[in-house]
Structure 1
Amino acid sequence: MRLARILLGVGLAGLWLVVGSAAEAGPRLYVSNEFANTVTVIDLEKEKTVATIPVGKRPRGIKASPDRRRVYVALGEENAIAVIDTAKNSVIEKIPAGDDPEAFDLSPDGRFIYVSNEEAHIASLIDIASRKVVATVKVGVEPEGVAVSPDGKWVYVSSETSHTISVVDAASFKVVATVLVGDRPRGIAFSPDGTRAYIAAEVGGTVSVLDAKTHKLIDTIPVLRDDEKPMGVAVMPDGKKVYVSNGRGDNVAVIDAATHKILQYIPVGKRAWGIAITPDGKRAVTANGVSENVSVIDTATDKVIGTLSAGKGAWGIAIVW
C-alpha cells in the first residue's frame, strides 16, 4: 500500500488528522482557499482529497520548497507566511512577512522568500534560516505577482495600479529597472532557460513578453476574446507552450512560445486563478475560485481530463512531486 491514512472529521471545525508517510505519497496538489482559510491537499494520481489544513486568515500565494519538504502559504490578514510540513500535512510555524503579503516566490536554493506586500507597496526579503524580514524595497503601487529567474539573479514584481514590472537585483535587493506592461499585471512566469518572462495583465487582456536578460518589452500578446481576464501564467518545462488562466473567462489560453500565437482556449472551472504545470509537463492544473475546484488538463491534447474538489475561494496551487 502506497500510503495509509486516517481521516477524522471533528464537528464543524473541520479539523483533520492525517497519518502516513508523505515520502511514499504520489504527486500532490496543495491548493490555497482564500475564503475558507485552508489548504486542500489532493492526491493527483488517486484524484482525491487527502487532507484539509487550517492555515490562517486569507491564504493566497502558495509555493513548495525545492526539496518539497515544506509548502509556504501567504496569509494576507495575518501578515505572515504559514509553513506546512508536507510529511505531516500540518502548519508547523508562521514567519512574519510584512503588511498584507499576497504572492511570493522562493530563491532556487530555498534560502529566501521574496514577498509582495500589497498595501505597503513594497517587496520584502525573508531569510528562512532566521525567520526574519532582512530587507525591503519600494516597488510599484499594489504589488501582486512575484517570480524569481531560474538562475536566482532577478526578482520580478508586478504592480496592479502602476501597470509595471519592478526588476529587483536579488543580490543587492534594489530595483534596477521598471518596465511598463499591460493594465493591471498579475501573474509572472519565466521560461525554463531564463531568457523570457511572461506577465498576465488582467484589465489589459494581454500577456506581456519581456527579454529577461535586457528587461525590455519585446511583445504583447492579445488574450482577450470575450471575458478573458489573464491572471496566472505557467510555462511548460520544455519552454514550448505558455498556459494562462483567464479568471472570469473560465478558461485557459494556450500560447505557442515561438510564435506568440494563441493555439486554443480550454474551458475550465469558474474564475480560474492560479495555474501550475507538473514537473514532467504532462498536466496543467488550475485553481477555480468560484466553482471551488481544480481543473486537470492533459497538455498533450490540451483537454480537461478531471475536475477535483477544493475549497471556497480556491486561489493558488503548489505541486509536491
Structure 2
Amino acid sequence: MTARVALAALGLVLAGAARADEAFVTNQNGDDLTVFDLAAGKAVATIPIGGRPAGIAVSADGSRAYVTSPEGKYVTVLDTAKRSSLGRIPVEGGPLGVAVHPSGQPLYVADWYSQHILVVDPASKAVTARYDVGKSPSGLAVTPDGKFLLSADRDSNQVSVVDAGTGRRVAEIKVGERPFGVTIDAKGERAYTANVGSNDVSVIDLSARAVVGTVKVGERPYAVGLANGRGFVSDQYEEQVSVFDLATLKPVAEIPVGAYPEGVEASLDGRLIYVACWEANTVAVIDTETLKVISELATGDGPRAFGRFVRKTP
C-alpha cells in the first residue's frame, strides 16, 4: 500500500467534486464488498458476500445493488441505503456480468459457462427465462430506454443484441478479439467494448448495429468508462488507463494507476473517473479535466467492480 492512499480524503474535497456519489466495490479475494462515501473519500461499510464476488450492478434509482459470485453460483441483493444484504438468489453456471433494467426489474446475469443470459426476477428471487447469446458472455449493458440488452460474448468475438421485450436476439455484431466489458453512452447511441485479445476498443453504432471505429489501447483492456467527451479504458497489463476522444476516436493520454486495473466508472457529474485496481487493492480517482490521479482509496483484497458500481444518494 502506498502513501498516496492516505490522501484519499483530501483529494476529494475539491470544489465541485461529485458530492452525492457512493461506490460499491466488489473485493473478489476478500469475499466482500466495500462501500465508499466518495465525497468524504473514505470507506463507510464492508458487506460480506462470499463466493468470490466480481460483477456489480446498481439499479437506476440507486435503491438496490446486485453482486455476482461466480464460485458461489448466486447473486447477492443489497439494500444500498442500509448497506446490508437482503439475501441471495441461487443461479446456475458461472454468474459474472450483471445488469439491471432501468425500471428496476428484471435483472440480467451472464452465465460465463453457457451461451445464455439468465433473466432474474428480484422480487421472487427466481430465474424466469434464458436468452441465447454467444460463447462465454461477460459484460452486460442495457440501453437507457430499456429496449435492448447487450452482451459481450468473449469467445465468439461479438456483441449480441437482445430485444429486452421479447428475449429474441436481433443482432450479432463482430468486434475485436475477446470482448469483455461493454459500455453504452448516456444517449443510447453508441456502445464500446474492451477487447482483451486484440488490445483495442470497438465502437458500435447501435442504430446501424455495426462497428464504426476501432481504438488501439494498452495491453489487455478490461472495461471502458465514459466522461467529459472521453473514453477511459483500464489496461490490465500496463497498469494504466488509456484515454481517447469520443468524437475523433484519437488517443489523448495514458494515465498510470495501480496494478491490474479493472472496473471503471464515472462520477455522476462526469468530473471524476473511478478505477478499481485488483492487485493494488485501491480505487484510483482521476480528474477528467487534468487527466491526473488525484487520490487513491484503500479497498478490501482484490477489487474488481465489474459493472455499474457508482450510486447517487438521495
TM-score by length of 1: 0.88
- Equivalent residues in 2 for 1:1-321, closer than 5 Å: 26-224=20-218, 228-236=219-227, 240-316=229-305, 318-321=309-312
Q: Is the 8 A contact 2:262 2:275 kept in 1?
A: yes
Unaligned 5+ runs, structure 1: 1-24
State the alpha-carbon separation in 2 of the partners of residues 279 and 49 from structure 1: 18
The C-alpha deviation readout for 1:231-266, integer Å capped at 9, x for no partner, is 011112x6x211111112111111111000111011
State the alpha-carbon separation in 1 of the partners of residues 181 and 106 from structure 2: 20
Partner of 2:4: none
State the alpha-carbon separation in 2 of the partners of residues 223 and 72 from structure 1: 30
Q: Is the 8 A contact 1:98 1:133 kept in 2?
A: no
Using CA pairs under 8 Å that are at least 6 residues apart, name the structure with larger relative contact order, 1 or 2. 2
Deviation at 1:165, TM superposition (A): 0.8
Which amino acid counterpart does residue 124 of structure 1 have in structure 2? Answer: L
Deviation at 1:96, TM superposition (A): 2.6
State the alpha-carbon separation in 1 of the partners of residues 144 and 238 from structure 2: 30
Deviation at 1:129, TM superposition (A): 2.6
State the alpha-carbon separation in 1 of the partners of residues 132 and 102 from structure 2: 23
The C-alpha deviation readout for 1:86-125, integer Å capped at 9, x for no partner, is 2221211112333211011111111111111001221111
TM-score by length of 2: 0.90
State the alpha-carbon separation in 2 of the partners of residues 49 and 192 from structure 1: 28
Q: Mean Cα displacement is larger for which, 96-105 or 147-156?
A: 96-105
Q: Is the 8 A contact 2:21 2:268 kept in 1?
A: no
State the alpha-carbon separation in 2 of the partners of residues 83 and 114 from structure 1: 13
Q: Is the 8 A contact 1:155 1:167 kept in 2?
A: yes
Deviation at 1:195, TM superposition (A): 1.0
State the alpha-carbon separation in 2 of the partners of residues 160 and 318 from structure 1: 22
Deviation at 1:319, TM superposition (A): 1.2
Q: Is the 8 A contact 2:51 2:73 kept in 1?
A: no
**Root-mean-square deviation (Å):** 1.4
Deviation at 1:26, TM superposition (A): 4.6
Unaligned 5+ runs, structure 2: 1-18
Any idea what SS the aligned residue of 2:104 has?
coil
Q: Is the 8 A contact 2:180 2:195 kept in 1?
A: yes
Any idea what SS the aligned residue of 1:281 has?
coil
Q: Is the 8 A contact 1:56 1:75 kept in 2?
A: yes
Which amino acid counterpart does residue 95 of structure 1 have in structure 2? Answer: I
